């Protein structure tokens, strides 16, 4: 077995790894780089036979989880390309397709299931469900020719599925030759750890309680762990949680009745203009029909603002501006803080200032802390680590020893 990291050896995001055995090939992730200057529709594809035209030797393209830096070029591959992805992850990306250009529809799919091996030509692939800020995320064991490669994917140990990673660390696959290891947080402050999702609940409660008027929370509609955190804080503060139709659709796509849904007590659904436009354009009225009993309309919203917490994204500023008499007290930033420094969000900062909206942060990382990266690395004794999805290669070389950093496009023969 041999493999090549086409992108990701010195970069967070845009990951793409090709694996070859006996003339057959697999691809792990086909991500869009996290570089604003790159266009997903025109960026040159990696030189993988099967990417530009169908190739029977490409047995499958595995999407480890539904983050764009891992699937963002998938729509460029031939329609018949066989994909492997979690069932809920696929449903989430399909649900998103109506509302955002980042959605994805795949036609030839095998579902990844926790710890259920899949045989594909010379390869056996065993997915391991992990904790991450994307729902339905997997690490992957790939076996062929008597050799074993383990891909950590993106993971963490402080979210709502932490137990899964702890089980993996306590009882890892044995005799792994190569560990493809993510290193996103290397280079961030070493001391302490990251707060858990549950640690955020009391912080969120404090901020909501001291807010006059509406509390806005800027979080991803696909960060389901965070939506649960938010719901818990809303129940404690007796506020209703207002989510947009896109988020309600994503929650439905998880097909998990134990997980927050639009019909739960204290949840309301708001239809921003851009989403209404998309529903009308695509005649997707059936998609939003189930939300009707929970809909909150623009004219009623201002009167309920002080009893509400609203899931927010900067694209909703116009919707809020149109509501007469709406008092907004606070914006809680529950995404990576770097987005606020981003030039694209200057308008948001100016808007908050002009409206007298206080800005606070309440967030935790989607990725494992350095100390947890080391714990996962150390459980694969006898393996060589190859770092991926990172910037701090020198730190990885030291912390993940024995470690063999590669460069993009370089093949590594496991023989």
Please report, as ranges, the residues that interact with Zn ion according to CB under 5 A: 67, 69, 154
Name, in order, each residue with C-beta under 8 angstroms of 236's C-beta and a sequence gap of 6 or more.
Answer: 201, 205
Nearer to Zn ion, 184 or 215 (CB): 184
Strand positions, DSSP E, 73-136:
83-86, 109-112, 118-120, 123-130
Contact residues for 87 (Cβ-Cβ < 8 A; gap 6+):
111, 113, 136, 255
**Which residue, 11 or 154, has its beta carbon nearer to Zn ion?**
154
Taking the least distance from each CB to Zn ion, the nearer of 156 and 262 is 156
Nearer to Zn ion, 67 or 262 (CB): 67
Nearer to Zn ion, 63 or 331 (CB): 63
Residue 30 CB, nearest approach to Zn ion (Å) = 12
Rounded CA-CA distance 93/304 in Å is: 32
Query: Which is closer to Zn ion, CB of 69 or CB of 319?
Result: 69
Q: What is the CA radius of gyration of the chain?
A: 22
The 8 Å CB, 24+ separation contacts for 376-383 are 376/152, 376/155, 376/165, 376/168, 376/169, 376/181, 377/179, 377/181, 379/168, 379/169, 379/172, 380/150, 380/172, 380/173, 380/176, 380/179, 382/175, 382/176, 383/150, 383/176, 383/177, 383/178, 383/179
Check if the beta carbon of residue 234 is closer than 8 Å to that of residue 227: no
Cβ of residue 46: shortest distance to Zn ion, in angstroms?
A: 16
User: How crowded is residue 398: how many other Cβ atoms within 10 Å of its Cβ?
Assistant: 11
CB of 368 to Zn ion, least distance (A): 11
CA dist., res. 55 & res. 273, Å (int)? 43
Output the smallest distance, CB 137 to Zn ion, in A.
Answer: 7
Q: Which is nearer to Zn ion, 75 or 367 (CB)?
A: 367
- Written as six digits, the tokens of 375 are 């714990």
Question: What minimum distance in Å lies between the beta carbon of 341 and Zn ion?
Answer: 20
Q: How far apart are CA 68 and CA 160, in angstroms?
A: 21
**Shortest distance, position 363 Cβ to Zn ion, whole Å:** 15
Parallel, antiparallel, or unpaired for β 16-21 and 358-361? unpaired
Closest to Zn ion by CB, 154 vs 392, is 154
Distance from C-alpha of 93 to C-alpha of 250, rounded to nearest angstrom = 8
Q: Tell me how far, at minimum, the Cβ of 293 lies from Zn ion, in Å.
A: 34
Q: 33: helix, coil or strand?
A: strand
Find the shortest distance in angstroms from Cβ 154 to Zn ion.
3
């Amino acid at each position: 077995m041999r493999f090549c990291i086409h992108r990701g050896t010195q970069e967070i995001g845009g990951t793409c790894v090709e694996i070859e055995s006996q003339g057959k090939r697999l691809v792990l992730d086909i991500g869009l780089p996290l570089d604003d200057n790159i266009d997903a529709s025109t960026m040159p594809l990696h030189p993988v036979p099967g990417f530009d035209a169908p190739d029977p030797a490409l047995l499958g393209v595995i999407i480890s989880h539904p983050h764009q830096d891992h699937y963002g070029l998938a729509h460029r591959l031939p329609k018949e390309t066989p994909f492997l992805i979690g069932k809920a992850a696929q449903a989430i990306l399909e649900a998103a397709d109506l509302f955002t250009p980042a959605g994805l529809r795949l036609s030839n799919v095998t579902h990844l299931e926790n710890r259920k091996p899949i045989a594909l030509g010379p390869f056996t692939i065993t997915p391991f469900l992990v904790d991450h800020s994307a729902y339905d995320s997997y690490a992957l064991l790939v076996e062929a020719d008597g050799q074993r490669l383990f891909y950590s994917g993106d993971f963490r140990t402080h979210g709502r599925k932490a137990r899964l990673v702890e089980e993996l660390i306590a009882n890892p696959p044995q005799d792994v030759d190569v560990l493809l290891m993510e290193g996103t947080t290397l280079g961030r402050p070493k001391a302490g750890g990251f707060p858990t999702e549950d640690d955020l609940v009391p912080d969120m409660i404090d901020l909501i309680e001291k807010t006059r008027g509406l509390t806005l929370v800027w979080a991803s509609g696909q960060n389901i762990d965070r939506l649960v955190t938010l719901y818990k804080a809303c129940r404690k503060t007796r506020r209703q949680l207002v989510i947009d139709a896109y988020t309600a659709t994503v929650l439905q796509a998880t097909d998990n009745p134990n997980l927050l849904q639009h019909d739960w007590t204290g949840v309301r659904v708001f239809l921003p203009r851009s989403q209404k436009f998309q529903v009308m354009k695509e005649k997707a009225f059936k998609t939003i029909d189930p939300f009707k009993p929970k809909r909150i309309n623009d004219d009623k919203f201002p009167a309920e603002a002080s009893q509400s917490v609203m899931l927010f994204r900067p694209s909703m500023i116009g919707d809020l501006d149109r509501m007469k008499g709406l008092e907004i007290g606070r914006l809680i930033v529950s995404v990576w803080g770097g987005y606020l420094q981003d030039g694209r969000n200057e308008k948001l900062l100016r808007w908050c200032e002009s409206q007298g909206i206080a800005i606070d942060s309440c967030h935790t990382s989607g990725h494992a802390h350095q100390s947890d990266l080391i714990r996962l690395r150390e459980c694969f004794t006898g393996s060589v680590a190859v770092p991926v999805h990172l910037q701090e290669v020198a730190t990885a070389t030291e912390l993940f020893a024995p470690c063999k950093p590669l460069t993009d496009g370089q093949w590594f023969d496991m023989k």
